[in-house]
Amino acid sequence: MKYFIFTIAVVLLTGCATHKTNSIDFVTSMPWKSRLERDIVYHTVDGMDLKLDIHLPDAWMAGPPWWGDHGLGKRPVFFYIHGGGFVVDDKESRQLRILPFIARDWIVVNINYRLSHEAKAPAAVADCLKALDWVFENAEKYQIDTDRIVVSGDSAGGHLALLTGMLMEGDSLCGGKYVVDKTNRVAAIINWFGSTDFSLQDPYQRSVYKTPHDWFDPNDDYEELIYSLSPVNYVRSGGVPVLTIHGTIDPAVPFNQAELLHKKLRNAGVMEKLVSIPDKKHGNFSVEERVMIFKETIAFLNRCNPAIKL
Protein backbone atom coordinates (compact mmCIF):
# COMPACT_ATOMS: atom_id res chain seq x y z
CA MET A 1 0.00 0.00 0.00
CA LYS A 2 2.87 2.37 0.80
CA TYR A 3 4.37 1.80 -2.66
CA PHE A 4 0.99 2.54 -4.26
CA ILE A 5 0.60 5.80 -2.33
CA PHE A 6 4.15 6.77 -3.21
CA THR A 7 3.60 6.09 -6.87
CA ILE A 8 0.45 8.19 -7.04
CA ALA A 9 2.26 11.01 -5.23
CA VAL A 10 5.14 10.87 -7.68
CA VAL A 11 2.84 10.81 -10.69
CA LEU A 12 0.99 13.86 -9.38
CA LEU A 13 4.34 15.50 -8.68
CA THR A 14 5.39 14.78 -12.23
CA GLY A 15 2.62 16.80 -13.79
CA CYS A 16 2.07 16.93 -17.52
CA ALA A 17 5.63 17.61 -18.57
CA THR A 18 5.41 16.01 -22.00
CA HIS A 19 1.78 16.63 -23.00
CA LYS A 20 -0.58 19.58 -23.02
CA THR A 21 -3.27 17.67 -21.16
CA ASN A 22 -3.76 19.89 -18.12
CA SER A 23 -7.54 19.52 -18.40
CA ILE A 24 -7.27 15.72 -18.13
CA ASP A 25 -6.55 13.90 -14.89
CA PHE A 26 -3.03 12.57 -15.47
CA VAL A 27 -3.44 9.38 -13.44
CA THR A 28 -6.74 8.48 -15.09
CA SER A 29 -5.29 8.99 -18.56
CA MET A 30 -2.30 6.67 -18.02
CA PRO A 31 -3.94 3.41 -19.21
CA TRP A 32 -4.96 5.10 -22.47
CA LYS A 33 -1.61 6.69 -23.27
CA SER A 34 0.66 3.67 -22.90
CA ARG A 35 0.73 0.03 -23.92
CA LEU A 36 2.62 -3.06 -22.85
CA GLU A 37 4.33 -5.85 -24.78
CA ARG A 38 4.89 -8.68 -22.30
CA ASP A 39 7.30 -11.58 -22.06
CA ILE A 40 9.43 -10.80 -25.09
CA VAL A 41 12.27 -13.33 -25.37
CA TYR A 42 15.49 -11.34 -25.52
CA HIS A 43 17.85 -14.33 -25.28
CA THR A 44 17.78 -18.11 -25.00
CA VAL A 45 20.53 -19.86 -23.05
CA ASP A 46 20.79 -23.53 -22.07
CA GLY A 47 17.24 -24.05 -23.29
CA MET A 48 15.86 -21.26 -21.08
CA ASP A 49 14.01 -18.28 -22.56
CA LEU A 50 14.91 -15.01 -20.85
CA LYS A 51 12.10 -12.47 -21.05
CA LEU A 52 11.44 -8.77 -20.70
CA ASP A 53 8.45 -6.43 -20.77
CA ILE A 54 8.46 -3.17 -22.71
CA HIS A 55 6.09 -0.33 -21.85
CA LEU A 56 5.55 2.10 -24.72
CA PRO A 57 4.02 5.56 -24.94
CA ASP A 58 0.95 5.39 -27.11
CA ALA A 59 -1.82 7.33 -28.79
CA TRP A 60 -5.43 6.25 -28.31
CA MET A 61 -7.02 6.09 -31.76
CA ALA A 62 -10.62 5.19 -30.79
CA GLY A 63 -10.67 2.31 -33.21
CA PRO A 64 -8.70 -0.71 -34.43
CA PRO A 65 -5.81 -1.16 -34.02
CA TRP A 66 -6.31 1.20 -31.04
CA TRP A 67 -2.79 2.48 -31.13
CA GLY A 68 -0.59 4.43 -33.48
CA ASP A 69 2.57 6.44 -33.73
CA HIS A 70 2.80 8.37 -30.45
CA GLY A 71 4.19 11.36 -32.32
CA LEU A 72 6.82 12.03 -29.69
CA GLY A 73 9.84 11.01 -31.74
CA LYS A 74 12.63 8.93 -30.22
CA ARG A 75 12.11 8.39 -26.51
CA PRO A 76 14.43 7.84 -23.53
CA VAL A 77 14.52 4.39 -21.95
CA PHE A 78 14.28 3.41 -18.30
CA PHE A 79 15.88 -0.05 -18.11
CA TYR A 80 14.95 -1.69 -14.81
CA ILE A 81 16.49 -4.72 -13.06
CA HIS A 82 14.67 -6.25 -10.11
CA GLY A 83 16.31 -7.14 -6.80
CA GLY A 84 15.92 -10.16 -4.55
CA GLY A 85 19.43 -11.11 -3.49
CA PHE A 86 20.05 -12.89 -6.82
CA VAL A 87 17.87 -15.72 -5.50
CA VAL A 88 14.20 -14.62 -5.70
CA ASP A 89 11.69 -12.22 -7.36
CA ASP A 90 10.96 -11.28 -10.95
CA LYS A 91 10.07 -8.34 -13.17
CA GLU A 92 6.41 -8.44 -12.12
CA SER A 93 7.38 -7.72 -8.52
CA ARG A 94 8.62 -4.23 -9.47
CA GLN A 95 5.71 -2.91 -11.54
CA LEU A 96 4.96 -0.02 -9.17
CA ARG A 97 8.58 1.14 -9.18
CA ILE A 98 8.47 1.93 -12.90
CA LEU A 99 5.15 3.82 -13.05
CA PRO A 100 6.64 7.34 -12.67
CA PHE A 101 8.65 6.82 -15.86
CA ILE A 102 5.72 5.33 -17.76
CA ALA A 103 3.72 8.41 -16.71
CA ARG A 104 6.38 10.65 -18.24
CA ASP A 105 6.15 8.91 -21.63
CA TRP A 106 9.44 7.09 -21.31
CA ILE A 107 9.91 3.68 -22.84
CA VAL A 108 10.36 1.31 -19.90
CA VAL A 109 12.12 -2.04 -20.22
CA ASN A 110 11.68 -4.36 -17.23
CA ILE A 111 13.71 -7.57 -17.34
CA ASN A 112 14.10 -11.02 -15.85
CA TYR A 113 17.46 -12.75 -15.54
CA ARG A 114 18.68 -16.13 -14.31
CA LEU A 115 18.55 -16.51 -10.53
CA SER A 116 21.08 -18.43 -8.46
CA HIS A 117 19.19 -21.75 -8.62
CA GLU A 118 19.19 -21.49 -12.42
CA ALA A 119 22.79 -20.40 -13.00
CA LYS A 120 25.64 -19.16 -10.85
CA ALA A 121 27.54 -15.90 -11.26
CA PRO A 122 28.26 -14.28 -13.59
CA ALA A 123 25.15 -15.52 -15.45
CA ALA A 124 22.87 -12.71 -14.20
CA VAL A 125 25.37 -10.09 -15.35
CA ALA A 126 25.62 -11.69 -18.78
CA ASP A 127 21.82 -11.74 -19.02
CA CYS A 128 21.49 -8.04 -18.19
CA LEU A 129 24.06 -7.18 -20.85
CA LYS A 130 22.18 -9.35 -23.37
CA ALA A 131 18.97 -7.50 -22.52
CA LEU A 132 20.76 -4.20 -23.08
CA ASP A 133 21.99 -5.55 -26.45
CA TRP A 134 18.32 -6.24 -27.29
CA VAL A 135 17.41 -2.62 -26.53
CA PHE A 136 20.09 -1.33 -28.90
CA GLU A 137 19.21 -3.89 -31.58
CA ASN A 138 15.52 -2.90 -31.45
CA ALA A 139 16.02 0.84 -31.21
CA GLU A 140 14.56 1.60 -34.63
CA LYS A 141 11.52 -0.66 -34.14
CA TYR A 142 10.52 0.98 -30.86
CA GLN A 143 11.75 4.55 -31.52
CA ILE A 144 14.39 4.29 -28.82
CA ASP A 145 16.94 7.04 -28.34
CA THR A 146 20.09 5.08 -27.55
CA ASP A 147 21.76 8.25 -26.22
CA ARG A 148 19.15 8.42 -23.43
CA ILE A 149 19.15 5.00 -21.78
CA VAL A 150 19.09 4.99 -17.98
CA VAL A 151 19.83 1.71 -16.20
CA SER A 152 18.39 1.23 -12.72
CA GLY A 153 17.69 -1.45 -10.13
CA ASP A 154 17.23 -2.11 -6.44
CA SER A 155 19.41 -4.22 -4.13
CA ALA A 156 20.78 -7.07 -6.29
CA GLY A 157 19.28 -5.16 -9.20
CA GLY A 158 21.23 -2.06 -8.16
CA HIS A 159 24.44 -4.09 -8.24
CA LEU A 160 23.52 -5.49 -11.67
CA ALA A 161 22.61 -2.00 -12.91
CA LEU A 162 26.06 -0.76 -11.90
CA LEU A 163 27.83 -3.57 -13.73
CA THR A 164 25.55 -3.28 -16.76
CA GLY A 165 26.39 0.40 -17.11
CA MET A 166 30.06 0.25 -16.11
CA LEU A 167 31.44 -2.86 -17.82
CA MET A 168 33.24 -2.38 -21.12
CA GLU A 169 34.41 -4.60 -23.93
CA GLY A 170 37.18 -6.91 -22.74
CA ASP A 171 36.28 -6.89 -19.04
CA SER A 172 36.48 -10.42 -17.62
CA LEU A 173 34.33 -11.87 -14.83
CA CYS A 174 34.89 -14.86 -12.55
CA GLY A 175 38.22 -15.95 -13.95
CA GLY A 176 37.19 -15.60 -17.57
CA LYS A 177 33.83 -17.36 -17.32
CA TYR A 178 32.37 -14.33 -19.06
CA VAL A 179 34.18 -11.74 -21.13
CA VAL A 180 32.26 -8.65 -22.26
CA ASP A 181 32.15 -8.64 -26.06
CA LYS A 182 30.94 -5.08 -26.69
CA THR A 183 30.42 -1.73 -25.01
CA ASN A 184 26.88 -0.33 -25.03
CA ARG A 185 27.17 3.14 -23.53
CA VAL A 186 24.25 4.25 -21.35
CA ALA A 187 23.40 7.77 -20.21
CA ALA A 188 23.22 7.16 -16.44
CA ILE A 189 22.89 4.58 -13.69
CA ILE A 190 20.45 4.83 -10.77
CA ASN A 191 21.58 2.43 -8.06
CA TRP A 192 19.16 1.70 -5.22
CA PHE A 193 21.30 0.29 -2.37
CA GLY A 194 23.17 -2.25 -4.49
CA SER A 195 26.41 -3.92 -3.43
CA THR A 196 29.49 -2.15 -4.75
CA ASP A 197 32.35 -4.08 -3.09
CA PHE A 198 31.75 -7.67 -2.04
CA SER A 199 34.99 -7.70 -0.04
CA LEU A 200 33.39 -5.23 2.40
CA GLN A 201 30.28 -7.38 2.61
CA ASP A 202 32.06 -10.61 3.42
CA PRO A 203 31.15 -10.74 7.15
CA TYR A 204 27.48 -10.41 6.20
CA GLN A 205 27.82 -13.08 3.54
CA ARG A 206 29.25 -15.50 6.10
CA SER A 207 26.70 -14.86 8.85
CA VAL A 208 23.58 -14.75 6.71
CA TYR A 209 24.24 -16.58 3.47
CA LYS A 210 26.67 -19.26 4.69
CA THR A 211 29.74 -18.55 2.60
CA PRO A 212 29.70 -18.55 -0.30
CA HIS A 213 26.46 -16.81 -1.22
CA ASP A 214 24.16 -19.04 -3.27
CA TRP A 215 24.89 -16.95 -6.34
CA PHE A 216 28.61 -17.71 -6.11
CA ASP A 217 29.96 -20.92 -7.61
CA PRO A 218 31.89 -22.74 -4.86
CA ASN A 219 34.24 -24.08 -7.52
CA ASP A 220 35.42 -20.58 -8.42
CA ASP A 221 38.36 -18.82 -6.82
CA TYR A 222 36.60 -16.78 -4.14
CA GLU A 223 38.94 -13.78 -4.17
CA GLU A 224 38.82 -13.50 -7.96
CA LEU A 225 35.05 -13.89 -7.91
CA ILE A 226 34.32 -11.12 -5.41
CA TYR A 227 36.87 -8.80 -7.05
CA SER A 228 35.54 -9.21 -10.59
CA LEU A 229 31.90 -8.88 -9.50
CA SER A 230 32.47 -5.67 -7.49
CA PRO A 231 31.48 -2.48 -9.38
CA VAL A 232 34.07 -0.35 -7.52
CA ASN A 233 36.73 -2.10 -9.57
CA TYR A 234 35.30 -0.75 -12.84
CA VAL A 235 35.41 2.94 -11.97
CA ARG A 236 37.34 4.75 -14.69
CA SER A 237 37.75 8.23 -16.10
CA GLY A 238 34.96 9.11 -18.51
CA GLY A 239 32.60 6.60 -16.91
CA VAL A 240 28.82 6.70 -16.83
CA PRO A 241 27.21 9.10 -14.29
CA VAL A 242 25.95 7.29 -11.17
CA LEU A 243 23.23 8.22 -8.68
CA THR A 244 23.00 6.03 -5.56
CA ILE A 245 20.21 5.95 -2.98
CA HIS A 246 21.19 4.22 0.25
CA GLY A 247 20.01 4.03 3.86
CA THR A 248 22.70 4.87 6.40
CA ILE A 249 21.99 1.86 8.67
CA ASP A 250 21.41 -0.73 5.94
CA PRO A 251 22.24 -4.14 7.47
CA ALA A 252 22.13 -6.01 4.16
CA VAL A 253 24.44 -3.79 2.12
CA PRO A 254 26.46 -1.59 4.50
CA PHE A 255 26.38 2.13 3.72
CA ASN A 256 30.17 2.31 3.54
CA GLN A 257 29.96 0.48 0.21
CA ALA A 258 28.05 3.39 -1.30
CA GLU A 259 30.50 5.87 0.24
CA LEU A 260 33.47 4.00 -1.20
CA LEU A 261 31.97 3.83 -4.70
CA HIS A 262 31.21 7.54 -4.77
CA LYS A 263 34.60 8.51 -3.41
CA LYS A 264 36.22 6.54 -6.24
CA LEU A 265 33.85 8.08 -8.80
CA ARG A 266 34.70 11.60 -7.60
CA ASN A 267 38.41 10.88 -7.69
CA ALA A 268 38.03 9.63 -11.28
CA GLY A 269 36.10 12.75 -12.28
CA VAL A 270 32.89 10.86 -12.99
CA MET A 271 29.62 12.69 -12.40
CA GLU A 272 27.96 11.21 -9.32
CA LYS A 273 25.64 11.83 -6.42
CA LEU A 274 25.01 9.84 -3.25
CA VAL A 275 21.60 10.39 -1.69
CA SER A 276 21.86 9.11 1.88
CA ILE A 277 18.66 8.37 3.79
CA PRO A 278 19.43 8.86 7.51
CA ASP A 279 18.54 6.06 9.92
CA LYS A 280 16.95 3.90 7.23
CA LYS A 281 17.73 0.31 6.32
CA HIS A 282 17.47 -1.68 3.09
CA GLY A 283 14.81 0.37 1.29
CA ASN A 284 12.36 0.97 4.15
CA PHE A 285 11.93 4.58 3.04
CA SER A 286 8.85 6.67 3.78
CA VAL A 287 6.53 8.07 1.13
CA GLU A 288 7.96 11.54 1.76
CA GLU A 289 11.52 10.24 1.39
CA ARG A 290 10.64 8.49 -1.87
CA VAL A 291 9.13 11.64 -3.32
CA MET A 292 12.30 13.52 -2.32
CA ILE A 293 14.38 10.79 -3.98
CA PHE A 294 12.42 11.13 -7.20
CA LYS A 295 13.03 14.89 -7.20
CA GLU A 296 16.75 14.20 -6.73
CA THR A 297 16.59 11.72 -9.61
CA ILE A 298 14.99 14.30 -11.91
CA ALA A 299 17.64 16.88 -11.03
CA PHE A 300 20.52 14.44 -11.47
CA LEU A 301 19.37 13.09 -14.83
CA ASN A 302 18.78 16.58 -16.19
CA ARG A 303 22.24 17.61 -15.01
CA CYS A 304 24.15 14.61 -16.35
CA ASN A 305 22.37 14.62 -19.71
CA PRO A 306 20.30 17.72 -20.51
CA ALA A 307 18.84 15.93 -23.53
CA ILE A 308 16.93 13.59 -21.20
CA LYS A 309 14.59 16.44 -20.20
CA LEU A 310 12.71 14.72 -17.41
pLDDT digit string, tens, across residues 37-61? 999 999 999 999 999 999 998 755 4
Is it the case that residue 182 has pLDDT exceeding 90? yes
118 Cβ contact partners less than 8 Å away, ≥ 6 residues apart: 48
CB-based contact 77:106 (threshold 8 Å): yes
Residue 192: what pLDDT? 98
Is it the case that residue 6 has pLDDT exceeding 90? no
Is it the case that residue 34 has pLDDT exceeding 90? no
Contacts 24+ apart (CB under 8 A), 211-217: 213/86, 213/116, 214/86, 214/87, 214/116, 214/117, 215/85, 215/86, 215/87, 215/116, 215/120, 215/121, 215/124, 216/120, 216/121, 217/120, 217/121, 217/174
Nearest-angstrom CA–CA distance, 58 and 43? 26
Residue 197: what pLDDT? 95
Is it the case that residue 159 has pLDDT exceeding 80? yes
pLDDT digit string, tens, across residues 62-118? 444 444 456 678 999 999 999 999 999 999 998 888 998 988 889 999 999 999 999
Sequence spans of domains, the chain? 2-15+26-308
Residue 144: what pLDDT? 95
Which DSSP category does 107 fall into? E
Residue 36: what pLDDT? 92
Residue 25: what pLDDT? 61
- Give ∠ CA 202-205-211 in degrees, rounded to 5: 100
Which CATH superfamily does the domain covering 2-15+26-308 fall into? Alpha/Beta hydrolase fold, catalytic domain (3.40.50.1820)
Percent of the chain with pLDDT over 70: 80
User: Cβ-count burial of 194 within 10 angstroms (0-12 exposed, 13-18 middle, 19+ buried)?
Assistant: buried
pTM listed for this prediction: 0.88
- The pLDDT mean for the chain works out to 86
Residue 16: what pLDDT? 40
Nearest-angstrom CA–CA distance, 128 and 161? 8
- Mean pLDDT computed over 284-292: 95
CB-based contact 201:256 (threshold 8 Å): no
Is it the case that residue 21 has pLDDT exceeding 60? no
